[in-house]
């Protein structure tokens, strides 16, 4: 499997930020946006393709977590 | 240019929003962000927020009392609350096996955070239970030869109360005083250790003033004198690096809801090499190596494990963020108001817990004035009583300053805007309350309050 390209990483970044904006709690929303930005920025100079793939896989898992947790938010208003 | 159009769009969006939001006074953080010119925060963040709580809630600045669940922790817990509901001690079917696997995974996650072996982690209902097990369990096991314990005057109520109940059983306890900085004197500790001392218990980070005790040095002293060392690390785990072997810790209490995990769960670390023997407090089916009987609550321990794993990954990032915000809060308040004292050593200090005393202002009235911010003036356990905190008394704070203290808690999810809002309101209300205070007037006139002879009525 070819390592993730720059375009794929950017797509992932945008998708994560987009999903994070759906957190209804102010603190979760602001944390998610800030953390995603800082994490991608911190790793922007990583060159090793294996390391890049590990980071991308982790980000994909985190994106799924955000999707599941924000979906829960829409359905329920406690 | 782009920023300004984005801001105008955001402002229009908020103004166009219907109903309760437009009536609410500047309590809502969303409204506040639009009122002030945006500094570092990109305004589109908050403006594109979905239709949210129509009732605005206070800002949460009390993380020492408890913390919100991290979304990653909740995500890990949910399957065990919904589908995988087996009892982890059921040995005969898949429900039991999968719960047990999750429990053991969580145990590994907790152990890895503190440098321990998973077999040394026992799950409990919280740090209070862990403290009880550590103090009473060790003391009672060795009661035939050892009758003495040492602790400090600034420990959490559960440790002090456990010691008090042991005194009623015939044990002898030394409550070490602390210096003005809140840190214990190592020489006094060494002098207090007797041949029949079984346990020394000193908390890592204090929950009221945020002071960090010299744990590694205490561990060194205890190990050289062959005394067990217990530390209540509820406020420290996951926030500062801890290693039970480097710091020679024999027992450690961990709390779930202080590290963005669920409430009602905690753990105790009990060293196996060399083995620390503990008399179990809770009898039953022998779960958790016989040290804590009772079904282990799988969803809660999975949450604790996930919280520990997240904390391990995020420790450095969180510490940087919290230190930055803490510096911002303290600098702004200290530069804008005279006669503000920070309680506790400024150097050996966990940045996320800031305890300030505002002279000539009553703490409770300031808390009530800051009604949009959730704060406290001391620990949640003692907030019901009107007495000033015993921790502040132990560090030698004057009676009047002890009544004027507020504890600001900064955590992983605290934002810069929340800190700025809190600081602004705090400065405003302290100034207002001081204007009303006759004591303040007298101080402004140059009268030394300590020289006044108050008459009897």
Interface pTM (ipTM) of the complex? Answer: 0.93
Examine the pLDDT at B41 and tell me if it is beyond 50.
no
Q: Is-contact B382 B157, C-beta < 8 A?
A: yes
Q: CATH 3.40.640.10 residue ranges in chain B?
A: 71-311
SS3 B253: strand
Over pLDDT 90: what percentage of chain B?
A: 77
Continuous H helices in B115-229: 127-132, 138-141, 157-168, 186-192, 215-224
CATH for the stretch B71-311: 3.40.640.10
Residue A76 binned pLDDT confidence (cut-offs 50, 70, 90): low
Nearest CA in chain B to A32: B413
**Which neighbouring-strand residues pair with B119?**
none
- Distance in angstroms between the alpha carbons of the first and the last residue of chain A: 44
| Per-residue model confidence (pLDDT) at position B449 | 81
Q: Is-contact B264 B302, C-beta < 8 A?
A: no
Instruction: Single out the catalytic residue among B158, B353, B381, B426.
Output: B381
Q: What is the pLDDT of residues B4-32, one digit of tens each?
A: 544 455 444 444 444 333 333 334 444 33
Residue B456 binned pLDDT confidence (cut-offs 50, 70, 90): confident
Q: What is the pLDDT of residues B151-179, one digit of tens each?
A: 999 999 999 999 999 999 999 999 999 99
Average pLDDT, chain B: 88
Q: Which of B34-48, B115-129, B235-249, B386-400 has the lowest mean pLDDT?
A: B34-48
Over pLDDT 70: what percentage of chain B?
A: 86
Whether B381 is a known active-site residue: answer yes
Question: Which among B45, B71, B412 is the nearest to A33, CB-wise?
Answer: B45
Residues with Cβ < 8 Å from B17, sequence gap 6 or more? none
Q: CB distance from B422 to chain A under 8 Å? A: no
Examine the pLDDT at B82 and tell me if it is beyond 80.
yes
Contacts of B46 in chain A (CB under 8 A): 26, 30
Q: What is the pLDDT of residues B341-357, one digit of tens each?
A: 999 999 999 999 999 99
Choose between B401 and B422: higher pLDDT. Answer: B422
| Per-residue model confidence (pLDDT) at position B215 | 97
SS3 B445: coil
Q: CB distance from B239 to chain A under 8 Å? A: no
Examine the pLDDT at B194 and tell me if it is beyond 50.
yes
Q: Is-contact B180 B396, C-beta < 8 A?
A: yes
Q: What is the pLDDT of residues B305-326, one digit of tens each?
A: 999 999 999 999 999 999 999 9
What CATH class does B314-441 carry?
A: alpha beta
Q: CATH 3.90.1150.10 residue ranges in chain B?
A: 314-441
Examine the pLDDT at B98 and tell me if it is beyond 50.
yes
| Per-residue model confidence (pLDDT) at position B160 | 96
Examine the pLDDT at B129 and tell me if it is beyond 90.
yes
Nearest CA in chain B to A42: B317
Euclidean distance between CA atoms B123 and B244, whole angstroms: 17
Nearest CA in chain B to A77: B53
């Amino acid at each position: 499997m070819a390592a993730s390209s720059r375009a794929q990483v950017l797509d992932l970044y945008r998708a994560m930020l987009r999903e994070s904006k759906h957190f209804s709690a102010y603190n979760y929303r602001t944390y998610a946006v800030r953390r995603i930005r800082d994490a991608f920025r911190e790793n922007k100079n990583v060159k090793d393709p294996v390391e890049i793939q590990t980071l991308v896989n982790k980000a994909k898992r985190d994106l799924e977590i955000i999707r599941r947790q924000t979906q829960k938010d829409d359905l329920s208003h406690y | 240019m782009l920023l300004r159009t984005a801001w105008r769009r955001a402002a229009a969006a908020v103004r166009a929003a219907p109903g309760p939001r437009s009536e609410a006074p500047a309590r809502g953080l969303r409204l506040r962000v639009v009122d002030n010119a945006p500094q570092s925060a990109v305004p589109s963040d908050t403006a594109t927020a979905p239709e949210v709580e129509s009732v605005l809630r206070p800002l949460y600045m009390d993380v020492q009392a408890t913390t919100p669940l991290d979304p990653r922790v909740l995500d890990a817990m949910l399957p065990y609350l919904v589908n995988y509901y087996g009892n982890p001690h059921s040995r005969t079917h898949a429900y039991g096996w999968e719960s047990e696997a999750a429990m053991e995974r969580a145990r590994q996650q907790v152990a890895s955070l503190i440098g321990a072996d998973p077999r040394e982690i026992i799950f409990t209902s919280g740090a209070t239970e862990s403290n009880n097990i550590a103090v009473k369990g060790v003391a009672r096991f060795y009661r035939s030869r050892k009758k003495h314990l040492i602790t400090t005057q600034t420990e959490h109520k559960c440790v002090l109360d456990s010691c008090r109940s042991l005194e009623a059983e015939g044990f002898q306890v030394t409550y070490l005083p602390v210096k003005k900085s809140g840190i214990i004197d190592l020489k006094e500790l060494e002098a207090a250790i007797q041949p029949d001392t079984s346990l020394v218990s000193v908390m890592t980070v204090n929950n009221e003033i945020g002071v960090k005790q010299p744990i590694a040095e205490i561990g060194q002293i205890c190990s050289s004198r062959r005394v067990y060392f217990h530390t209540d690390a509820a406020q420290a785990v996951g926030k500062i690096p801890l290693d039970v072997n480097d710091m020679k810790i024999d027992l450690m209490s961990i709390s779930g809801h202080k590290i963005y995990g669920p409430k009602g769960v905690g753990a105790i670390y009990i060293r196996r090499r060399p083995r620390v023997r503990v008399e179990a407090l809770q009898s039953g089916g022998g779960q958790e190596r016989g040290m804590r009987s009772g079904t282990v609550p799988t969803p809660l321990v999975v949450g604790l494990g996930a919280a520990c794993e997240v904390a391990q990954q995020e420790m450095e990032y969180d510490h940087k963020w919290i230190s930055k915000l803490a510096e911002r809060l303290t600098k702004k308040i200290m530069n804008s108001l005279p006669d503000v004292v920070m309680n506790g050593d400024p150097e050996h200090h966990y940045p996320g817990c800031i305890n300030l005393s505002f002279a000539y202002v009553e703490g409770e009235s300031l808390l009530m004035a800051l009604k949009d911010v959730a704060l406290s003036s001391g620990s949640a356990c003692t907030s019901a009583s009107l007495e000033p905190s015993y921790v502040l008394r132990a560090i030698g704070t004057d009676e009047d300053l002890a009544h004027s203290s507020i504890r600001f808690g900064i955590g992983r999810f605290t934002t810069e805007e929340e800190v700025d809002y809190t600081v602004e309101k705090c400065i405003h209300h302290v100034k207002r309350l001081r204007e009303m205070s006759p004591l303040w007037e007298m101080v402004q006139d140059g009268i030394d309050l300590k020289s006044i002879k108050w008459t009897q009525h």
